[in-house]
Structure 1
């Protein structure tokens, strides 16, 4: 009987300790997302998504969309953090996150966070051009070898 009570208490203490550890990791991850600019990027993505749906559903009144945006913005980032938490925990320690936060709080870190969306957008355009060039080379090579008709 004493052993089973001790086992239950040990399991409870371990679970509570893990839960507290998880909560501190989660708040550190949330802070890192804020200072890195990721939170703003995700909110922008939500706005763009809603804007696209709004265009497709033009018969829906603006009041609905205003209310919906307010509602979704209350906990969208929190829900995203819950979803990505295990991914970050798998690859980065909480100490790693704190170091990232320290970086993003420096002048160069702030500049990097500010410029990342622009760099990403422009890099995606460059990547698309690169992909188009490779596809063109493949097509030309296939034609040259007779696998595709001219």
Structure 2
């Protein structure tokens, strides 16, 4: 009986922990979408595709093959998001991420990404946020997060580029 109760308790705890991990990941993904991180990397991928087309110009790669290369974008973006979740996990609690999402959903949070878009009210709201515990964590971890994001960016972009080159090579197109 004790073994059965222990097994049920372990199963329940495992389910609860997995749900929290999934919620954390989803909230970070929402955060990095709201703050423009994912949009930035989508642009990086588009620039990489353009660069590849220039590099492979002499190979006369048909548009259908380029379309196949670009089919990997969604998977690459998902892998990037998971890598960023890992970086956030080392710096921020789930509550911190929820606080960030609340900021980005606010008018001040939306305006902070617009050039010359901040009103005095927005500036006051942002000042209040950045003086909060979460805001202090963000500013205090900037160097560490920048280092983590730099490593993630380098690793991710290298993997995506090598994957595209390998795909093209398998199709018979070489640099």
Place the TM-score, normalised by the shorter chain, in its bin.
0.5 to 0.7
Pair 37,114 (structure 1): closer, same or farther in 2 beyond 3 Å: farther
Q: Which residue of 1 aligns with 2:35?
A: 36
- Residues of 1 paired with 2:114 and 2:94: CA distance? 23
Q: Contact conserved, 2:29 with 2:85, CA < 8 A, in 1?
A: no
Larger radius of gyration: 1
- Residues of 2 paired with 1:30 and 1:114: CA distance? 21
- Residues of 2 paired with 1:16 and 1:35: CA distance? 28
Q: Contact conserved, 1:104 with 1:113, CA < 8 A, in 2?
A: no
Q: CA deviation at 1:114?
A: 4.6
Per-residue CA distance 1:65-111 (angstroms, 9 max, x = gap) = 12321x22333322222222222112111221122122223344224
Q: CA deviation at 1:15?
A: 1.4
Question: Match of 2:81, SS?
Answer: helix
Q: Which residue of 2 aligns with 1:51?
A: 50
Structure 2: gaps spanning 5 or more residues: 116-175
Q: Which residue of 2 aligns with 1:67?
A: 68
Pair 3,86 (structure 1): closer, same or farther in 2 beyond 3 Å: farther
Q: CA deviation at 1:31?
A: 0.9
Q: Which residue of 2 aligns with 1:103?
A: 103
Question: Match of 1:91, SS?
Answer: coil
Q: Which 4+ stretches in 1 moved above 4 angstroms?
A: none
The structure that is helix-richer by fraction is 1
Q: Which residue of 2 aligns with 1:85?
A: 85
* Cα-Cα RMSD: 2.0
Q: Contact conserved, 1:28 with 1:97, CA < 8 A, in 2?
A: yes
Question: Match of 1:113, SS?
Answer: coil
How does 1:6-25 map onto structure 2 within 5 Å? 6-25=5-24
- Residues of 1 paired with 2:95 and 2:14: CA distance? 21
* Count of equivalent residues: 113
